[in-house]
Chains A and B, each alone.
Chain A
Amino acid sequence: MHSFTFHCVSPSCSDQSPLSFPQMQFMLLFSRQGKLRLQKWYVPLSDKERKKISRDLVQTILARKPKMCSFLEWRDLKIVYKRYASLYFCCAVEDQDNELITLEIIHRYVELLDKYFGSVCELDIIFNFEKAYFILDEFLLGGEAQETSKKNVLKAIEQADLLQEVIHVCIAV
């Protein structure tokens, strides 16, 4: 009779055939001022839910002190976040997942961005956010690590980029 609002969001209790979801449910990048810089959702959610979740999380995480734990429980998810300069990277995984490896996924993504942009900063991601998405898609696909070799990820991105540049060069010529 009494159901709680978030039980509609969260799974299983009413769901007879549990839907399977990938390990990572979503990834958010946001600035110290709370501005969203990148969002990738690996589970189907409505626009409204997405907005509510990111608002809640940005608030919660920004309120935490720097020396605090990088993990937190939020609803029935585990949030893993890390701050790099002015940018927060935040991932949601299932509670029983390995938080440390998720932290390293974030780190590997930052490494990839860094390598691609050449000592990356927040502005690179703001102005070239579509590139950041392309890199993310080569690294994590559908919420799972697709390719963990740094070389291979960048090779794939560069090949696609190159095609663009070659065409541009051709046009320019």
Chain B
Amino acid sequence: MSDVVEKTLTALPSLLSLDSQPGSGKLSSTSKLGNLIRGITELTSKHEEEKLIQRELSSIKEQVASPNTSMRQMKELMVRAIYCEMLGYEASFSYIHAIKLAQQGTVLEKRVGYLAVSLFLNESHELLLLLVNTVLKDLQSTNLIEVCMALTVVSQMFPKDMIPAILPLVEEKLTHPKEIIRRKAVLALYKFYLIAPNQVQHIHNKFRKALCDKDPGVMTASLHIYLQMIKENPEGYKDLTASFVTILKQVVGGKLPMDFNYHSVPAPWLQIQLLRILSLLGKDDQSTSEMMYEVLDESLRRAEMNHNITYAILYECVKSIYTIHPKAELLEKAAKCIGNFVLSPKINLKYLGLKALTYVVQQDANLALQHQLTIIECLDHSDLVIKRETLELLFRITNAQNVTVIVEKMLEFLRLSKDDYTTIDLVGKVAELAEKYAPDNEWFIETMNTVFSLGGDMMQPDIPNSFLRLLSEGFDSTEEDRQLRLFAVDSYVSLLQGEPGRLPQRFLQVISWVLGEYSHLREGLEPATTLRLLAKLLDMKHTSSETKSWVLLAMSKLCEGPDCVSLAQELSERHGGSLDTVLRQRVQELRHLSEDAELRASVLPRDAAQEPLEVDSSLSFLDGFVSEALSAGAAPYKPPHQRQEELAQAKALSLEPYGLSLPISMSSCSLADRQSPTLLSMSSGLSGNSTDLSHKGGSTTLKLDGVKRVWGKDGYLAQKEPVEESAQVEVPSPLCSPSRQGGADSTHSQTPTPTPTPEPEKEKQQLASSLFVGLGSQSSVCLMGKSEQTPQRFRRKAKGQGSSSGASEQISNSHYSTQSTVDNLLCNNLLDSTVTSDLAVSTPEQTPQLSQEVATTNGTCDAEQDLIEETDPGNSPSLIRANSTVTADPPAHKDPDRPKDSCLSSHLPAELAGLSHSEIIPLCSSQNLDLSACHVQKEDALLLVIFIENSSDSDIEQMLLQTESDELEVSCVTDSPVEAVRSLSVSVYQYSLMVKRPAAHVALAGTASYQLPSGESQVMQFSYRLPLTSFIRPLCVSTEEYGTLWLAFSQDTKQNLALLNDGQDPLTATLDVLKNKLQLHVVDIIGAEGIVACRLLQGQPCLMHCRVHAGSLAVWLRSPVPDLPDCLLYHCQRALQEH
């Protein structure tokens, strides 16, 4: 066929031009569409258009339903239906006909049918099921174009559950002689991987083949899958680094066919994809990073042409260089690149420059210093997008000295912005900065006033909450507390005297609470005055009933004296009949309390907010009730997110054509990135670390001679130089600034040039000095370590220092070290592709050596595998994971009286015998089999060991264990699922567990099925529950790292815990108990505060800040993982209770 194609190719242009000539058969259709389009353009009003389209649609509807309509006419009708849908009119009646067209039409009609399907339906549409058969048929067609069409539609959408039906056919296409088919098949598999990763788990070595494909297009397509897989598990693919580097080298060196050039740059998309993969592989991994330095350097060097596409590559290079383990020489070049971007007159490049600066600024604040004037220009840029990105950058360099200027700029932007999403994001950031760095009370209250007014009712609810908390809990000095509260009261009274009608509800609620609680502090302010102001709020039209309840509660606190009684009386008459029951209750309360001063004093004592309320948020006192209810058959509690998820799933199957669909979205990190500095601070960890290390005496060989990393804690703080002076030193003369782009780090050593500067320039310099104060001072490095000396408001928010040093390497490393999925990566040299072994042996740490061994001695693969099957695991420690099921010898004489535990524990695999294990508990039993289990806590893993004891005289065949859990990821490492349990013996199964979703207790359920000698199959069910504490490991971080991490996490919980009083320092005593019982790591104890860190097995950290306050321990937990803080808190509480 391709021959025919080749021959006719020359005739193509003339054939195509037929399209626009009248008379040809196809054109009547075009003209019908044409008529429609022309008709629409001639119309003047939206209404007329609607009428026309409705007419059109009903005519289409009539025709598609008619049995006389030929497939060719149908094709033309579909095109028109697509057009109507694009204009926003629904044509759902045509969906089924689109499927029919794809099914029954000839090739060219089919093509339109498939297109219509892919445009009309979305992934979860149930009609898509009807397409499966058509796809199946076309995949088997001998016509290449039909196969292509089927693969194209599959790569765009396919019902998840039907993947197994076509998977073998798609896999088969990976060896198709035509590269276009292979390429599309790879992309179809990529799609499957995205929507159902488990379904394609078994064909990972086929991905490898695709990566080695001789056609660059197929290889490029396979990189999509690799990028995704490496994102999820970089440890599993480290051995491919050399191959990726080689490929990139070849691409950069121009070894690909010219077709792949884009504006004479060789395969830029491929280059960028490879750079992304390399940065994932090299992150926090020095030896892997070292492999790529050369090619990164080469890429930087080659991408010199002045074209967008080379900038795109440069940008990706820079990102990679700052992500992987740092190398001074490369960092220097990358910094220069960023400089070029920032200074570029092209606005798109400038934007990317700012974005890159934001990305690296915590590692290298100097870079921001070098470009301060450009940054200031960008701050006043007419394009809000640029402004916004600049604010993002400033947010990351905020410290106690520049906070007022930066917050002012942010508020300025907020007043301009009309986009809700931006508003919420920025308001949150301002509140965060204000709490952390507020220079004085007045500023703090005023800033928060603006936050509340601008954020309105959209902002995150925790902003007002934590503000009120801050006011009520106070700081170390009571005088200061009083001052702050007094100031708040004054400010609110004057706001209420102004135009309270314009204030958002949330703000009014805050005002009411504060006035109710603290207005007595202001001497000379009569309660009656405050009451009148508050009462005014009740009469306002826009006040919501929630706010009214707040107002009434505040009034209840204030009402005193005879005036108030009458006011309360009046209010109760007016609102007593309200439909809102809460409101009615509040009014009644107000009336009663106003009449009975004594009662009021006992119900609402003054300053009660300072007394910590003991709230048991884990509700542990209900445990008994819950377990009773559960045993009585109640459904277990599901947290809201789970319910929502299930709801969404249920909706996906609903009969509505468009149910509530899956969320639009992206990987979780991007959101985090916007809202909090999570990603950045994590990734900026590398070089922060390295500085740290080199200071400690160099456990690494990293040399940072070329680059001075002067970004310390919060910069200049220790020197206490007057602001003006430091500013002068830091501001480079505007005249020399362009030439200094990317230049050395001599900024601070420079003496100011006494060039006379024009007036506006001077203004900019002043702004610069106030913005960049505190950045990049050399002394800051030695400041690292002790945080409490800094003049920022530690006492206000004790945690969250804006420290620059990043996440510890430990976190990121441990993140993956426990993952047991070692892919079939034994063939070290991928491009050789001679060895493809399905063997999956060895623990991750041992993979490199082992894989090399196997790779070099190719022939041993099989032998080794045989070996595994026979040997006892104890003899070959490196093969532990491969054979987690071992059949132990039956005990010589089984003593029925012997406690089961000790009897079974002798069956623990040898390598686990030395470790402590939990009590072995029976899971379930039948007349033949007894199942018991225990878990073994290892440093880097949690293993579940299931013992299957065959007490009968006959062998059990086809033993199959299956487990599932919502909270846990259970990986069984058994190769052969069918297993026989010999008579009177014990089989041991090992599973490695990881937490998917934290809960105070995590459970897994399972079934054991087996066959009796009689051939009868039996099934048993069991479940196993274990506390989250088994998964918690200490997280060793330094105080600075802790600070950075703290800022990055969004999930938090606060609570008061009981403080132990064992004679010695109560804080230390309490933390010691927690440390011993829960394996937490106590990072630091400073005075009455302590910081503690731990992580889950797979690395997700949880941080805890503790402060002794009013006889109890106020703890505040933060983590990137939802629910983890709550669960940990629960266990802390239990641990302290049990103590």
Q: A16-B997, A72-B385 are in contact. Are A162 and B267 (CB under 8 A)?
A: no
Q: A16-B996, A44-B123, A127-B34 are in contact. Are A94 and B107 (CB under 8 A)?
A: no
Q: A8-B663, A100-B315, A146-B184 are in contact. Are A166 and B259 (CB under 8 A)?
A: no
Shortest distance between the CB of A26 and any CB in chain B (Å)? 9
Shortest distance between the CB of A108 and any CB in chain B (Å)? 7
**CB 8 Å contact bits of A156-167 with B (1 = contact, 0 = none):** 101111111111
Report whether B665 and A19 are in contact in the complex, using a CB–CB cutoff of 8 Å.
yes
Contacts of A130 in B (CB 8 A): 79, 82, 112, 115
Q: A16-B996, A75-B421, A130-B112 are in contact. Are A148 and B270 (CB under 8 A)?
A: yes
A window 67-101: CB within 8 A of B: 67-77, 94-96, 98-101
Stretch at the interface among B220-228, B324-332, B1096-1104: B220-228
**CB 8 Å contact bits of A135-173 with B (1 = contact, 0 = none):** 001000110111111111000101111111111110110
Contacts of B90 in A (CB 8 A): 47
Partner of A47 from B644, B658, B673 at Cβ < 8 Å: B658
Q: A67-B347, A137-B152, A146-B183 are in contact. Are A48 and B658 (CB under 8 A)?
A: yes
Q: Is A103 an interface residue (CB 8 A)?
A: yes
Q: Is A9 an interface residue (CB 8 A)?
A: yes
Once bound together, how far apart are the Cα atoms of A114 and B289, in whole Å? Answer: 42
Partner of B671 from A10, A17, A39, A41 at Cβ < 8 Å: A10
Q: Is A36 an interface residue (CB 8 A)?
A: yes
Once bound together, how far apart are the Cα atoms of A65 and B641, in whole Å? Answer: 42
Q: Is B570 an interface residue (CB 8 A)?
A: no
Report whether A25 and B664 are in contact in the complex, using a CB–CB cutoff of 8 Å.
yes
Q: Is B662 an interface residue (CB 8 A)?
A: yes
Q: A144-B224, A163-B107 are in contact. Are A96 and B663 (CB under 8 A)?
A: no
Report whether A144 and B260 are in contact in the complex, using a CB–CB cutoff of 8 Å.
no
Shortest distance between the CB of B302 and any CB in chain A (Å)? 16
Partner of A14 from B24, B385, B644 at Cβ < 8 Å: B644
Partner of A101 from B8, B191, B272, B665 at Cβ < 8 Å: B272
Once bound together, how far apart are the Cα atoms of A165 and B268, in whole Å? Answer: 34
Report whether A141 and B152 are in contact in the complex, using a CB–CB cutoff of 8 Å.
yes
Contacts of A172 in B (CB 8 A): 24-25
Partner of A162 from B9, B111, B115, B122 at Cβ < 8 Å: B9
Interface size class of B (residues with CB under 8 A): 35 or more
**CB 8 Å contact bits of B629-643 with A (1 = contact, 0 = none):** 000000000001110
Once bound together, how far apart are the Cα atoms of A168 and B420, in whole Å? Answer: 54
Stretch at the interface among B52-60, B304-312, B559-567, B974-982: B304-312
Q: A16-B641, A44-B124, A69-B351 are in contact. Are A149 and B25 (CB under 8 A)?
A: no
Contacts of B24 in A (CB 8 A): 168, 172
Shortest distance between the CB of A64 and any CB in chain B (Å)? 8
Q: Is B458 an interface residue (CB 8 A)?
A: yes
Interface size class of A (residues with CB under 8 A): 35 or more
Contacts of A22 in B (CB 8 A): 194, 224
Residue of B nearest to A10 (CB): B665
B window 1-32: CB within 8 A of A: 2, 4-5, 8-9, 12, 15-16, 18-19, 24-26, 30
Q: A20-B667, A44-B123, A69-B386 are in contact. Are A51 and B9 (CB under 8 A)?
A: no
Once bound together, how far apart are the Cα atoms of A134 and B118, in whole Å? Answer: 11
A window 19-52: CB within 8 A of B: 19-22, 25, 35-49, 51
Report whether A141 and B187 are in contact in the complex, using a CB–CB cutoff of 8 Å.
yes
Report whether B122 and A46 are in contact in the complex, using a CB–CB cutoff of 8 Å.
yes
Report whether A12 and B668 are in contact in the complex, using a CB–CB cutoff of 8 Å.
yes
Contacts of B118 in A (CB 8 A): 137
Report whether A44 and B122 are in contact in the complex, using a CB–CB cutoff of 8 Å.
yes
Once bound together, how far apart are the Cα atoms of A165 and B119, in whole Å? Answer: 24
Shortest distance between the CB of A81 and any CB in chain B (Å)? 11
Q: Is B666 an interface residue (CB 8 A)?
A: yes
Report whether A149 and B190 are in contact in the complex, using a CB–CB cutoff of 8 Å.
no
B window 651-665: CB within 8 A of A: 657-665
Report whether B260 and A149 are in contact in the complex, using a CB–CB cutoff of 8 Å.
yes
Residue of A nearest to B217 (CB): A147
Partner of A165 from B16, B82, B679 at Cβ < 8 Å: B16
Shortest distance between the CB of A125 and any CB in chain B (Å)? 11
Residue of B nearest to A144 (CB): B224
**CB 8 Å contact bits of B233-251 with A (1 = contact, 0 = none):** 0000000000000000000
Contacts of B674 in A (CB 8 A): 73, 76, 95
Once bound together, how far apart are the Cα atoms of A36 and B152, in whole Å? Answer: 24
Partner of A104 from B107, B309, B388, B670 at Cβ < 8 Å: B309
Contacts of A103 in B (CB 8 A): 308, 312, 348
Report whether A44 and B662 are in contact in the complex, using a CB–CB cutoff of 8 Å.
yes
B window 107-129: CB within 8 A of A: 107-108, 111-112, 115, 118-119, 122-124
Report whether A11 and B663 are in contact in the complex, using a CB–CB cutoff of 8 Å.
yes
Report whether A159 and B111 are in contact in the complex, using a CB–CB cutoff of 8 Å.
no
Once bound together, how far apart are the Cα atoms of A11 and B24, in whole Å? Answer: 50
Which of A11, A25, A39, A144: most chain B Cβ within 10 A? A144
Report whether B670 and A164 are in contact in the complex, using a CB–CB cutoff of 8 Å.
no
Residue of A nearest to B20 (CB): A127
Partner of B659 from A18, A46, A95 at Cβ < 8 Å: A46
Report whether B667 and A12 are in contact in the complex, using a CB–CB cutoff of 8 Å.
yes
Contacts of B664 in A (CB 8 A): 9-11, 25, 43, 45, 49, 53
Residue of B nearest to A138 (CB): B152
Residue of B nearest to A11 (CB): B665
**CB 8 Å contact bits of B24-51 with A (1 = contact, 0 = none):** 1110001001100100000000000000
Report whether B666 and A25 are in contact in the complex, using a CB–CB cutoff of 8 Å.
yes
Residue of A nearest to B153 (CB): A137
Report whether A128 and B19 are in contact in the complex, using a CB–CB cutoff of 8 Å.
yes
Q: A76-B421, A162-B5 are in contact. Are A142 and B383 (CB under 8 A)?
A: no
Shortest distance between the CB of A155 and any CB in chain B (Å)? 8
Report whether B86 and A36 are in contact in the complex, using a CB–CB cutoff of 8 Å.
yes
B window 897-950: CB within 8 A of A: none
Partner of A134 from B111, B641, B667 at Cβ < 8 Å: B111
Report whether B665 and A152 are in contact in the complex, using a CB–CB cutoff of 8 Å.
no
Contacts of A2 in B (CB 8 A): 461
Once bound together, how far apart are the Cα atoms of A40 and B1122, in whole Å? Answer: 34
Once bound together, how far apart are the Cα atoms of A53 and B421, in whole Å? Answer: 14
Contacts of B63 in A (CB 8 A): none
Report whether B671 and A12 are in contact in the complex, using a CB–CB cutoff of 8 Å.
yes
Q: Is B422 an interface residue (CB 8 A)?
A: yes
Once bound together, how far apart are the Cα atoms of A67 and B5, in whole Å? Answer: 46
Contacts of A129 in B (CB 8 A): 82-83, 86
Shortest distance between the CB of B16 and any CB in chain A (Å)? 7
Contacts of B106 in A (CB 8 A): 167
Q: Is B180 an interface residue (CB 8 A)?
A: yes
Contacts of B660 in A (CB 8 A): 46
Q: Is A120 an interface residue (CB 8 A)?
A: no
Contacts of A41 in B (CB 8 A): 122
A-B contact pairs, 27 of them (CB 8 A): A10-B663, A12-B665, A12-B667, A12-B671, A13-B671, A14-B641, A22-B194, A43-B662, A44-B157, A46-B658, A47-B90, A47-B658, A51-B88, A68-B382, A69-B351, A98-B272, A100-B348, A101-B272, A101-B312, A127-B33, A144-B221, A149-B260, A162-B12, A163-B107, A163-B145, A168-B24, A172-B24
* 5 A-B pairs with least C-beta separation: A11-B665, A12-B668, A100-B312, A149-B259, A44-B123
Instruction: Using A46-B122, A96-B670, A163-B145 as known contacts, list a sample of 16 further A-B pairs with CB atoms less than 8 Å apart, ordered by residue number in A.
Output: A15-B668, A17-B996, A20-B228, A25-B666, A35-B87, A43-B665, A44-B157, A98-B315, A100-B309, A107-B308, A129-B82, A129-B83, A133-B119, A142-B155, A148-B268, A149-B217
Q: B residues engaging A (CB < 8 A)?
A: 2, 4-5, 8-9, 12, 15-16, 18-19, 24-26, 30, 33-34, 37, 79, 82-83, 86-88, 90, 106-108, 111-112, 115, 118-119, 122-124, 145, 148, 152, 155-157, 180, 183-184, 187, 190-191, 194, 217, 220-221, 224, 228, 257, 259-260, 262, 267-270, 272, 308-309, 311-312, 315-316, 347-348, 350-352, 382-383, 385-386, 388, 419-422, 424, 458, 461, 640-642, 644-645, 657-674, 679, 996-997, 1122
